């Protein structure tokens, strides 16, 4: 049974909801065991496998984040989506970043590859 475009599209909302809730287990539930995460593309480390991905996201979900999906497109087993997240730091300071993520899904709907496209130019 293959995954539907609606299931793939729902990954965008589930991903942002998990990040804003600080829910590491919900983030990990989106990924296949042997997945890869590259964040940011071209300048970041490629995290391979569940243990490396968990270590990467543990520091992300520890932050206070607000986020929203701006646009999402499911094509085949790929999901391309644009979102903004605002990270709140101590003493009222914050940073907002606009990101495009490309997630490829397997036949069970799990993410096998995530590539995040952003640079410091996308931060405010």
Beta partners for residue 3, in sequence order: none
Q: Which of 31, 39, 57, 101 is catalytic?
A: 39
User: Helices (DSSP H) in the chain: which residue ranges?
Assistant: 5-21, 24-29, 50-61
Active site residue 13: no
Q: b/e string for 66-91 if b means 16 or more Cβ within 10 A?
A: ebebeebebeebebbbebbbebeeee
Q: Which of 15, 31, 57, 101 is catalytic?
A: 15
Active site residue 39: yes
| Residues with catalytic function | 15, 39
């Amino acid at each position: 049974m293959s995954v539907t475009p609606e299931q793939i599209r729902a990954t965008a909302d589930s991903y942002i909801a998990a990040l804003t809730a600080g829910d590491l287990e919900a983030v990990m539930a989106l990924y296949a065991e042997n997945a890869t995460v590259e964040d940011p593309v071209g300048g970041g480390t490629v995290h391979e496998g569940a243990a490396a991905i968990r270590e990467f996201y543990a520091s992300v979900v520890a932050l206070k984040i607000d986020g929203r999906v701006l646009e999402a497109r499911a094509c085949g087993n790929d999901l391309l989506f644009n979102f903004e997240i605002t990270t709140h730091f101590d003493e009222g300071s914050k940073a907002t970043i606009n990101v495009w993520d490309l997630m490829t899904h397997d036949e069970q709907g799990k993410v096998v590859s995530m590539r995040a496209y952003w640079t410091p130019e996308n931060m405010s």
